[in-house]
Amino acid sequence: MPQEYTCKTQRGSTPDILQCAADAVRGGHSLRSAAATFGVDQMTLTGFMTKQQENPPV
């Protein structure tokens, strides 16, 4: 029988985690340290914050 497949990656970041990381950056943390603290890729966090600046939440 074939081996059972094992996922090698995790699911993507939730918007809640991205929002917390973005709030930390606005609060004074560097982007890289906030990304490392919350376990988010720094480019993902950069893109999330850029989108928020273009379309601020209502």
> Is there a contact between 33 and 21 (Cβ–Cβ < 8 Å)?
no
| Residue whose token pair is 């809640």 | 16
Percent of the chain with pLDDT over 90: 67
Q: What is the mean pLDDT of the chain?
A: 91
Using alpha carbons, select from 53, 32, 41 the residue that is nearest to residue 12.
41
Confidence of residue 44 (pLDDT cuts 50, 70, 90): very high
pLDDT tens track for 6-25 = 988 877 778 999 999 999 99
The pTM (predicted TM-score) of the whole model is 0.75
> Is there a contact between 46 and 18 (Cβ–Cβ < 8 Å)?
no
